[in-house]
Amino acid sequence: MSNQRVQLNIRFKVKPGKKEEFRRELYSLIEEMSSERAFISAIVSDDLDQPDDLIIYETWQGTRERWLAEEFIKPYRKDYERTLGDFIVDRRISWLQPKGEWGSHITNA
């Protein structure tokens, strides 16, 4: 297993009145993906200034290319992707590579 890490910072703009239902779907996805070999961690946050926004910050072993080739194709992800239109109006994904870390040892950067 590679020492390289990749992080996904995903911001969801949730449809009005759908945030808690979407949160349950997202938590269910996280429960499934947390058993994957390359999974390191996930943090879900509410944006205090944008109440309809929900953000997930995932850390994985490997590269973006490997994540797309191995993780994105999982059947449970495909099911989740099909339901997104019921809950969100927008999703913005940032791909990150950790270069330094203080206060924890999640990324080993």
* Amino acid 35: pLDDT: 96
Residue 3: its pLDDT value, please?
A: 79
Question: Amino acid identity of 77?
Answer: R
pLDDT value for 105: 77
In the block, which residue shows the tokens 């994904």?
93
Supply the pTM of this predicted model.
0.89
In this prediction, residues 12-30 reach a mean pLDDT of 97
Q: Which residues of 24-37 are buried (b: 16+ CB within 10 A; e: fewer)?
A: ebbeebbeebeeee
Q: What is the DSSP string of 24-56?
A: HHHHHHHHHHTTSTTEEEEEEEE-SS-TTEEEE
Give per-residue pLDDT as tens, 30-79: 999 999 999 999 999 999 999 999 999 999 999 999 999 999 999 999 98
CATH of 5-96, one of 1.20.1260.10, 3.30.160.20, 3.30.70.100, 3.40.50.1100: 3.30.70.100
Q: What is the pLDDT of residue 109?
A: 59
